[in-house]
Homo-oligomer: A and B are copies of this chain.
């Protein structure tokens, strides 16, 4: 249940916390107090009197809900602002391959509007005998490249021990699709204050991903992004996954966290990455995370879905243009001039 109070009614907030805090989960956001598992009859007369509204139909993932937190979450990192009216480009190679290579990719990403550098140092591969990433060396190379190009660094954490090590280098943690319901890991990153990019599992429902994000929020970390990266359906002959573009407006209705599109994993094939990216932008996504590589055929992993620098430039130009068209109503050239 969510009790909506007048602004700055700190007295009732304190009263509710004292009343329910020892026996129930109590969350406060501005003038809204969520208390899990109570009924209206459980409120005292003064608590009821102070309420301007009482919302009873509340999802389990209450902290992530619009009912509890109506305004958009906006995440601020050193070089980026994510969510709200902003549009954020993230790009980089699937794996960190060498100190030189990640720097080269950072240059390409930055030159085309990306403010966040993505790359994997620990890779969750389907087979134990596939390349598993450069490990901590990869993190160091990536940090250096990000610093050189004034970008934020986004990389995946795969288990509790990684979290400590990766936290020394990264600006944003990624939780991969296969770990979306690794609740131990979610709890661990929830106890940090590092922003988290949570990828929707390949068969996760909308409710599943919202509940997974709530594990992070429950620990106190509210800097969360949710990523659509394609789901599993009956047809994967021509694309690796099926991008569920409809989840963008659905999630934006239900939650205040920024919604990001990963067109690379959704398609799995270079030639379809740009149309999927633009579809995501047109549907209203707050950003894109795109895999790029200067020599995809020799990439250490996921080469077939990596865009070459010139392809990424084309994607980025069109993505920003569509975003500006939708958000400003301004003619594109003007908007571009102001970019």
Contact = CB atoms under 8 A, between A and B. Distances in A.
Interface stretch (A86-94, A146-154, A235-243): A235-243
A269 B275 CA distance: 24
A249 B271 contact: yes
B246 A234 contact: no
A120 interface: no
Given A128-B215, A129-B218, A246-B239, A282 B281 contact: yes
Interface string A55-98: 00000110000000000000000000000000000000000000
Interface residues of A, number: 76
Contacts of A334: 331
A299 interface: no
A276 B243 CA distance: 12
B239 A242 contact: no
B282 A322 contact: yes
A278 interface: yes
A288 B243 CA distance: 19
B234 A233 contact: yes
Contacts of A282: 275, 278-279, 281-282, 322
A321 interface: yes
Given A322-B322, A325-B325, A250 B245 contact: no
Interface string A157-191: 01111100000000000000011011111010000
Contact of A332 (B234, B245, B250, B332): B332
A208 interface: yes
B160 A160 contact: yes
Interface string A232-264: 111111110011111011100110000000000
A304 interface: no
A300 to B, nearest CB: 15
